């Protein structure tokens, strides 16, 4: 009997694609297949919700993604209009790392994430509106609910950070995250097959929110760093 080859690389499960990403892809495919041009109107929210069988918040997140890319605009009382044609090949422009070692990929990505995340939290603390604060807290509450119930909260954690990016009112922050989404997603899909990865950072998400609520940019930066320091420690510890 032939002995198993233990040197073969593991075939890892595919990451779960979040609903907003699926809606974004579906809308891009629709724009492409319908040959919509600049100035054309997109289907209304209710129509999209019915056709794609998703909630209003998911549709709006996908719309915000397109707005961040500068390809659509929403006109109050009129609808959502295309500013430039898009396709699935053009809405996602991922940046990736050419490395086969998860530890190295995570640490290199973290270096970039630390710079973007800390700056975004500081800007959000200065520029956030009351509406932004409600959005961030809503995502935080959901993250905490899922975390307490399941012990981890990948998509919900990501949604919390996206809400902070939106509160900067600088579309480049979200565009940068979207470009690095595939690489950044590694942090939320339980690297090293550990459900407890970065779990110690959980309390700092609430204190980060408190700093943004208090309009304290330096405190927001410090709380963001606490989260990312835990992430770095776990990468190094769990990859031994």
Counted domains in the chain: 2
- 59 contacts 23 by C-beta, under 8 angstroms: yes
Separation CA 227–CA 152 (nearest Å): 15
Between 108 and 134, where is the model more confident? 134
Rounded to two decimals, the pTM is 0.63
pLDDT of residue 155: 79
pLDDT of residue 85: 75
Question: Is 164 found in the same domain as 47?
Answer: no
Question: Is 126 found in the same domain as 76?
Answer: no
Question: Is 108 found in the same domain as 58?
Answer: no
pLDDT at 121 > cutoff 50 = yes
Could you tell me where the DSSP H helices lie in the chain? 19-33, 45-52, 56-69, 88-91, 102-127, 130-150, 154-166, 171-179, 181-184, 202-213, 217-238
Question: Is 157 found in the same domain as 44?
Answer: no
Question: Is 112 found in the same domain as 78?
Answer: no
**Mean pLDDT, residues 62-87 taken together:** 82
pLDDT at 57 > cutoff 80 = yes
Beta bridge partners of 74: 80
Element (H, E) at 74: strand 72-75
pLDDT for 159-176, tens place per residue? 899 899 999 999 888 878
Asked if residue 3 belongs to a domain, the reply is no
Separation CA 127–CA 217 (nearest Å): 10
């Amino acid at each position: 009997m032939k002995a198993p080859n233990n040197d073969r690389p593991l075939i890892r499960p595919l990451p779960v694609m979040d609903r907003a990403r699926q809606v974004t892809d579906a809308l891009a495919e629709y724009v492409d297949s319908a040959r919509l041009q600049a100035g054309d109107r997109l289907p209304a929210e209710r129509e999209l919700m019915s056709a794609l069988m998703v909630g209003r918040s998911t549709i709006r997140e996908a719309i915000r993604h397109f707005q961040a890319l500068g390809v659509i605009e929403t006109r109050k009382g009129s609808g959502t209009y295309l500013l430039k044609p898009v396709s699935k090949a053009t809405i996602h422009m991922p940046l990736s790392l050419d490395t086969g070692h998860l530890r190295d990929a995570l640490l290199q990505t973290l270096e970039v994430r630390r710079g973007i995340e800390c700056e975004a939290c500081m800007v959000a603390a200065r520029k956030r509106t009351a509406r932004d604060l409600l959005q961030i807290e809503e995502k935080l509450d959901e993250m905490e609910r899922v975390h307490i119930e399941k012990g981890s909260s990948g998509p919900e954690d990501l949604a919390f950070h996206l809400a902070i990016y939106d509160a900067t009112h600088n579309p480049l922050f979200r565009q940068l995250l979207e470009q690095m989404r595939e690489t950044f997603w590694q942090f939320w899909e339980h690297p090293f097959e550990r459900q407890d990865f970065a779990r110690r950072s959980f309390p700092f998400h609430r204190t980060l929110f408190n700093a943004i609520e208090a309009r304290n940019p330096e405190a927001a930066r410090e709380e963001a760093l606490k989260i990312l320091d835990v992430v770095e420690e776990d990468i190094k510890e769990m990859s031994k």
